[in-house]
Amino acid sequence: MKVLITGGAGYIGSTIAACCSDSDITPVILDDYSKGLREFSQPYANYEGDIADVSLIQRIVSEHPDIDAVIHCAAKIVVPESVSVPLDYYENNVAKSITLLRELSRLGVRRFILSSTASMYEAGDDYMVDESGAVAPQGPYSASKWMLERVLRDFAATGAMNSIALRYFNPIGADPSMRSGLQDPQPTHALGKMIEAYRSGGAFTVTGVDWPTRDGSALRDYVHVWDLARAHVAALQKFDEVIAQSEVAGFDVINLGTGTGTTVFELANAFGDATGKPLEVQTAAPRLGDVVGCATLTAKAARLLDWNAELTIADGVRDSLAWAEKLPAVLHRE
């Protein structure tokens, strides 16, 4: 089997590529390197360019006529930026993807897996969501992913393309073999701030401790990026079976997560477990825009993909720390 991975030099795309390779699936990488690192794509056939470059798509398929499917990871993903420049997000994440889909279909590629987001869900009373949950995107980023899913659903109805959307929240960790990881040396998410506090000997601040969760801190759904990669590979391997069982012709949605979620306090505890030293924690009032959050239920992934998250949050912390140590050398080679 051969798969085209758009955005395959990025954090998630490169991990999927490595997992494909380990599973005897041949990855072909397309990336514009606006965020991805060239080193991540070097082990594979790779192409530099835009997903909406029709001539480039034609060249890739011509040189790899045995491409069986596409995993679409290429996207703008910074939530605050999406609010500032929404048209950039709708153009890149929706309009350019439509051009890609049209050309792939014309060239005979009919299997499409979208790396999507669970941030489009409206949280239920218990802050857990499944695939039947209400969708209420709160910003241009999640709205752009929802719009593309709707495009895929409508396109599937024509018989021109079958698609699976994989929805998930917060990837952590790195390829356990340290072939790739997060490219940002100063990530602003909670785990990145914990690493920063750990290195500086300072304290990590938990903002908001009165949420209606099991320990008062906000709920998130951290899942190891290698587990996410395994799920994408499973979706490739079981693609036709999933589509054959889908309630919507040619299209299905599957959530990926731990099934329980992780509170911020629990993440801090896992950080201490990974390092062998408790992380110093202080608390503060919620910041403007902070929300309680939610996490995904994963029964559908278990049933259709035979997939469950296997690596722990502490594993994710350990791999994130190991990768953070390696990243400066990787960036220097770039």
> What residues are annotated to the active site?
141
Question: Can you tell me the distance from the alpha carbon of 318 to that of 208, in angstroms, rounded to the nearest whole number?
Answer: 26
β-pairing, 295-296 vs 251-255, is unpaired
Tokens of 172: 């952590």
Which helix (H) or strand (E) covers residue 327, if one does?
helix 313-333
- Could you give the 3-state DSSP secondary structure of residue 311? coil
Q: Which of 5, 213, 58 is nearest to 123 (CA)?
A: 213
β-pairing, 204-207 vs 251-255, is unpaired
Tokens of 204: 């990590």
What are the backbone dihedrals phi and psi of residue 26, each rounded to the nearest 5 degrees, phi first? Answer: -90, 115
Counting Cα atoms < 13 Å in the Cβ hemisphere of 297 gives 13
Question: Can you tell me the distance from the alpha carbon of 143 to that of 91, in angstroms, rounded to the nearest whole number?
Answer: 12
